[in-house]
């Protein structure tokens, strides 16, 4: 053991050297990718799929109601336009999330 120059003291301490320390960076990156990217993307996709399913059901219900009553009004067109805007926004949010995760990982 070498002594440092001057009046500095040498401090010794013991640590455990686990055999898997060589693989820790790989395991860490895999877990980060899993918990910070793949699981959130899966949750987002499932949630937005359910939302789009609800939109389609409501659009069909409104469409069948207006066909049965033979009322064609501009409210249905406005509602359809709003639903399309919502779907586009949701898709954009997913794409931005994926791009941000990709940018942060590189």
In the chain, how many domains are there? 1
Decide which of 5 and 34 is more confident: 34
The boundaries of the domain holding residue 106 are 75-106
For all residues of the chain together, what is the average pLDDT?
A: 76
| Residue 102 belongs to a domain | yes
Written as six digits, the tokens of 9 are: 């003291």
| Residue 97 belongs to a domain | yes
| Residue 24 belongs to a domain | no
| Residue 62 belongs to a domain | no
Per DSSP, the chain holds a count of helices (H) and strands (E) of 3, 0
CB 41 within 8 A of CB 105: no
Q: pLDDT at residue 79 above 60?
A: yes
pLDDT 10s digits, 12-64: 777 656 566 677 777 888 888 888 888 988 998 898 888 888 878 877 776 66
SS3 97: helix
């Amino acid at each position: 053991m070498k002594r440092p120059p001057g009046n500095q003291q040498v401090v010794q301490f013991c640590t455990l050297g686990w055999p898997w320390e060589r693989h820790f960076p790989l395991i860490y990156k895999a877990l980060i990718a899993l918990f910070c990217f793949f699981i959130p993307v899966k949750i987002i996709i499932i949630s937005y799929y359910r939302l789009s399913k609800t939109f389609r059901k409501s659009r069909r219900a409104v469409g069948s109601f207006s066909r049965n009553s033979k009322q064609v009004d501009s409210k249905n067109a406005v509602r359809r336009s709003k639903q399309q805007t919502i779907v586009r926004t949701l898709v954009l949010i997913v794409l931005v999330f994926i791009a941000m995760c990709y940018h942060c990982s590189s």
